[in-house]
Each structure stands twice: as structure tokens, then as C-alpha cells.
Structure 1
């Protein structure tokens, strides 16, 4: 099965997903029409009376070669030519075979299969062109059905074989339509999967700070609104931490923006390292400022995490010599919590502002420390 997939995937490399699906479909049609020609028609001609059916047998061999050339054309990236060759070859084959063996064998029924897959075979097919192609297929079907009778056929199929072949043609037409519909369904599923993956990726990009990999301000606002709604139904503690890299402007001016970016990445890694629960959210709030949302965490727990964060950043030992000869990069941390829900209170914005005020006090009172302010402060 894997080798067959490789065969019908010839020419798909370095193309968009939509183009790849079109190429695969074209190759699949060519392969299946080749198989439908060999079984049962070529097999019958060869076994029953090869001498009598020599001409139609040879003609079908030529058509088979043209079908296989479609794969070669796609491999050579001549996609438009491959589809035209496939369509013309199929129409000519059905017309010629019916001319040889008559319409009673049911070969002309394959025009229905071709009409059913026409819209999937071509991208951006204009409505007028589509109806012209359908009208052409309808005309060819009518010609073969009414004009190519056993009386006019060059080598008609005798009874009961013609009835058996007609039943086989019906089964093959329905089988091919079913197989093509399965391919279409798989392609649709694959397209939906690729679309969902792209949407997830774009959503991740829109919600992620590109420098640190943390969530951004948009996610913070959504998370606080979500937690506030949850607390209205199930009151539990909620804490927020705001932290800021001390003297970051001095650090940036002395060591350059590349070093500044690297410093922020290290602080972000520390921030993620002190959080263990999936529900905890770390955010780059802006510039050198970070925020943490801690659902189900009271004042004591939030203070503990804030202190661990402060100590971990200090232990990075990132020099900041403009502050002092032996100075290192540190952070100031503001913490705020509340353990009761009041629908008339200021909401999550007030909690965030309380943590921001606590951060301001930490910076104004000497930096590199943790300050707590209650929600009602």
C-alpha cells in the first residue's frame, strides 16, 4: 500500500497542500482507469479470443500507456498538461472501445464516473467551462448509447458474456465512484487537519510573546476574566504576581539589546521554572515586566512563589555593573490576593492593579524584594 501511495504521489514535492491533493487525485484517476481497463476487459479479450479482439486489445494498451504517462507528466511538474491528457485519453478510450464492442457492454457508463470527478480534478474551474465539459460528456454518452449498437460494432461481445460485462461495467463504475469519494473524503479530512493545525499555530502566535515564549497580555486579560467567572460559581483564592527586572534600562545601555533580550529570556525561564501547576499562567506583561496568575492560591502561597522567583533570578548571577561593582540582575515582585468573591467589587482589573501597586512599592523601597498588598488595599 505504501508503494502505491508513493506512485500516486509523484510530482507532489515542493507544492502547496491544495496543489498536492490535485496532483495525487490526477495520479489516482490514471492508475484506477488503468486497472479498470486491464480487469476485466483486457483479460477477457486475451483469454476469450485474442485474434478476434486484437485491435481493441492493442488500442487499450495504447490508452494504458497514455494513462501511465500522466504520472510522468506530473513528475515533471507539467500538471495542467497531465490533467488534459487524462481527460482526453479517457473520453477517446470510451468512444473507441464502444465503437469496437458496442454500448451493450456498458463501457460508456464510465462517462458518469468522469463527470462525477470532473469538478474535483480541476482547480478554480469556471462555471461556463464546467458546464461545457459536462455537456461534452453527455453528448459522448448519448452518441455511444444510441449509435454504437451490436449491429454496427466491429467486434461485438456475444451473449451471455456481454450481459456479464455490462454488469461488471456497472459494478466498476459504482466501485470507482466509491473509491474516488473515499479519496475525496480523505483529502477533505487532511485539508481540515492542516487548516486546524494552521489555525492552532496562528492562535499560538497571536497569544505568545515571540521573545520569551510566554503568553502575552491578551492571554492575561482572557485568563483573569475566565478566573473571575469561575470564582462567581466556585469561590476560591486567586492571586496575581507582578515582577519587574530592576535597572533594566541601565543593563540594556551597557551590554546592548542582544544581552538585554537574553536576560529577559533567562528571567522568563526562571519564571516558568517556579510554576508547577498547569493552571498557573506566566505572562510577559510588557518590556521587562512579567505577570503570573495563580488560581486557587492564597496569600501565603503567592508570597512563597514570589520569593522563590526573586531568589532564583538573583542566583542567575547576571552582572549589572552600572548598578554596582558586584551587582547582579534582580527583580522586584508585587503580590496581591483575595479569598472571597464579591460581584460588586472591582473585578480582576482591581486585583491586577493591586499587584502593580505592590510592585511599585517594592521598587521604591529598595528593589530586589517581595511586597504584598491585599485586594482591598
Structure 2
């Protein structure tokens, strides 16, 4: 039954933005609960003394029909019309019913429920309009309370039924207000959850290379800065590896960019598969260059990993005929490490690894070159 009820009050919701969906659902909920809350009173009027309560009974049938019409209007997409009909119908019903059976039944207390949810029925409610509607609710409540005492109405409810009806009205006001606010709270939680997921997705997109699925330059820089800051608090080794695909321009020119993209994807997967720790980062630095950030890894471990990466790419056996007969795609690798924090920029460590990579390419490619980190402040242009 709750699932069916949810489907019913979701009428007209599909295809609308979150804020409007919230308005439509709440409008439908108030319409359904308004009709449902009227039914117990109708049973009393019908079975206790239909002749006496015929007027209020028939009036309530019209009000119930109007509540259900709200759902149909929302289904047609006339959302503001549905909302306005709901407010007018509910306000009139409370006043008319109180007119028939007196304020002693407490029906006019439901103005407080309307006041509690009023702001949620509008997407952008101007403060003047809000104040005007709230003033109208307050005026209708005061008028109903003082104009229709027990002894001056056409169809007064006798004791003890009047007390039971008042208690039911109080319980209904509290229950419906609580239910509406609970449902709205759930909608807010769901919207916040969706927003969090979307924000994380956008952050991932901003930090991810679309071709390889690795971190991009932004993700690399953020990770390196974070690890550099951590190094200042907790001394530990930190290594950076730079890799460049040898003769990739020749490969691209011969086999085409599509094949070149597939080659980069294979290399990216191979590099990522050789890194097992969650703290390590593999990134596409740009073009055919890749970079790895290895927290807690010193010179020996970084050298070893650099060799493993070079061998793994060679074992892919991707042919590169323009380099020579039987030649395959290879990578050159530059490695650098630091074992304690220095008051330089994290980018200096990346530049040092890039310099080591340049040495590897200068020395014939398909090899690993290690350069220890030297502070730019003490070695001029980065040392040798």
C-alpha cells in the first residue's frame, strides 16, 4: 500500500527539476491526505444524523472532489493551478465545516497544518505573498474560532462527540504536520545525496583523463601537493616517476590516431596494473607522457618499479615498424626521490623526475635513469 500511495502522489513529477518535483509531490500529498482526513467526519455525519448534517456532508463531497482534482491537474502539468486550487479548497473547507458544526470540533485547527507547509508549496515565494497568505490563514482561524461557537451553528455536534472530534482534529493536525515535514525532510536528504553524488562525479571528471581513465594533470598536481604537505608533518620518502613513450609520433603517423589512442590505453592499463598500493597514483601527464607519485617509496623501490614498468610495456609487444624491423613500443623512465621535507614547491620534484626522463631519452631511450632530488635553492637550475 505505501508503494502504491507513493506512486499516486508522484503523479506529474516525471521530467521535472528537483525543486518542482518537491512542490508537485507535496501538493499531491496534501490533496490525498485532505481527502482522507475528511472521510472519518463523513462517516459520523452520515450515520449519526444525516438529516441534520446533510449540508456539511454534501459540502465535504465537493471538497473531497476538489482535493482529488488537484492530482489530475498536476498530471496535466498545470502545477501552479493545482497548488492554488489546493490552498483555496482547504481554506474554504475548514471555514465552511466550522460554520456548520462549530469551532468546538477543532476542524479550523488544520489552518496550522497549512501554515506549516505553505512555504514548501511554492518554488520561489516572495516574502510579501507569504505574509499575505499567512495573514489570511490567521484571520480565517480567528474568525472561525469566534464567529461559530457551539450554540450558534446550524448543525452542532453533541457531547461527548464534540470532544472526541476535537481530540481527533488535534491528533490530525499534529500527525499530518509531522508526516508532511518528515516526507519533506526525506526529499531534502535525497536531494542532498544526489547533489553529493553529482559533485563527486564532477570532481572525478575534472581530475580524470577521458582517454585512459587515469588521473589527469590536475589530479597529479593535487596529489603531489597533498603528499608534499604530508611529508612536512610526517617525514617519509617520496618518489616520482616520469614515463614517455618512445618514438610515439612516428607510431601515430604510421598507424593513425585511433591506433595511437589504443596504444596509450594499453600502456595506461599496464602501468596501473603494476602499482598495487592505494596511496600510489598513476596519471597521464600529457600527450604520451605518464607520471607516478609514490608516497613512502625511496630510491631503491622507485628504481625497481621503474624497471618493472619499462619491462612490462616492452612485453606488450606493440609493433613500431618505423623504428626498425621487429621493433616494439618502449618507454623511457625518469625517477627521483626525496627522503625528507624541504621548503621548496612540490612541482620541483616533478621537474627533477622530468629531467631524469630527458636524460633517459638522451641516452638512447628504453631505459631508466635516476636523479636524486637537489633543492633548486642550493643547485641553481635543478642540479645535474
Output the CA distance in 1 between the equivalents of 2:35 and 2:281: 58
| C-alpha separation in 2, matches of 1:368 and 1:47 | 95
Q: CA deviation at 1:347?
A: 5.1
- Corresponding residue of 1:232: 232
Q: Which residue pairs with 1:33 in the alignment?
A: 34
SS at match of 1:292: strand
Partners of 2:159 and 2:108 lie apart in 1 by 18
Distance 2:314 2:184 in 1: 59
Q: Deviations 1:209-267 (Å, cap 9, x if unpaired)?
A: 22222112222222222222322333222211000111222222233333322222222
- Which whole-Å CA distance do the structure 1 matches of 2:67 and 2:29 have between them? 10
CA distance in structure 1 between the partners assigned to 2:15 and 2:285 by the alignment:
40
Query: For the residues of structure 1 that align with 2:256 and 2:128, how far apart are their CA atoms?
Result: 63
Residue 360 of structure 2 contacts residue 366 of structure 2 at CA under 8 Å; is this kept in 1? yes
Q: 2 CA distance for matches of 1:120 and 1:227?
A: 46
User: 1:319 is matched with which residue?
Assistant: 319
Residues 112-133 of structure 1 show CA distances to partners (whole Å, capped at 9, x for unaligned) of: 2112211111111122222222
Which residue number corresponds to residue 175 of structure 1?
175
RMSD: 1.9
**Mapping 1:183-194, distance limit 5 Å:** 183-194=183-194
Tell me if the contact between 2:231 and 2:341 (Cα under 8 Å) persists in the aligned partners. no
CA distance in 1, matches of 2:245, 2:10: 54
Residue 343 of structure 1 aligns to a residue whose secondary structure is coil
Deviations 1:270-327, CA, capped at 9 Å, x for gaps: 1111111100101111121110011111222212222222222223233333323433
How many residues are matched?
374
Question: Partner of 1:159 in structure 2?
Answer: 159
Bigger shift: 317-326 or 163-172?
317-326
| Conservation of the 8 A alpha-carbon contact between 2:245 and 2:332 | yes
1:83 CA drift (Å): 0.9
Query: How far apart in 2 are the matches of 1:43 and 1:226?
Result: 69
Aligned to 2:263: 263
- Quote the offset at 1:12 in angstroms: 1.4
Whole-Å separation in 2 of the counterparts to 1:260 and 1:59: 77
Is the 8 Å Cα contact of residues 235 and 341 (structure 2) preserved in structure 1?
no
Hey, what's the Cα distance between the residues in 2 that align with 1:327 and 1:23?
A: 66
Tell me which residue corresponds to 1:146: 146
Greater shift in the superposed pair: 246-255 or 187-196: 246-255
Q: Tell me the TM-score normalised to structure 1 length.
A: 0.93
1:244-255 equivalences in 2 (<5 Å):
244-255=244-255
- Counterpart for residue 3 of structure 1: 4
Match of 1:362 in 2: 360
Partner of 2:220: 220
Provide the C-alpha distance between the structure 1 equivalents of 2:317 and 2:181, rounded to a whole number of angstroms: 63
Gaps of 5+ in 1: none
TM-score (norm 2): 0.91
Matched residue, 2:106:
106
Which of residues 359, 369, 372 in structure 2 aligns to 1:371?
A: 369
CA distance in 2, matches of 1:52, 1:314: 96
CA distance in 2, matches of 1:137, 1:236: 68
Q: SS of the counterpart of 1:44? A: helix
Separation of aligned partners in 2, 1:293 and 1:216: 13
**2:380 aligned partner:** none
Match of 2:377 in 1: none
Q: Equivalents in 1 of 2:68, 2:148: separation in Å? A: 28
Aligned partner of 1:308 in structure 2 is 308
Matches of 1:322 and 1:81, distance apart in 2: 72
Aligned position for 2:13: 12
The gaps in structure 2 that reach 5 residues or longer are: 375-383
The answer to whether residue 130 in structure 2 is matched with residue 130 in structure 1 is yes
Distance of aligned partners of 1:88 and 1:357 in 2 relative to their CA distance in 1, 3 Å threshold: same
* SS state at 1:69 partner: helix
Give the secondary-structure state (helix, strand or coil) at the position aligned to 1:4: helix
The separation in 2 between residues aligned to 1:157 and 1:342, in whole angstroms, is 84
Deviation string, structure 1 residues 144-183 (Cα, Å, up to 9, x no partner): 2222233432211112211221222122112211112212
SS of the residue corresponding to residue 282 of structure 1 reads strand
**What displacement does 1:76 show?**
2.5
Give, in angstroms, the shift of residue 342 of structure 1: 4.6
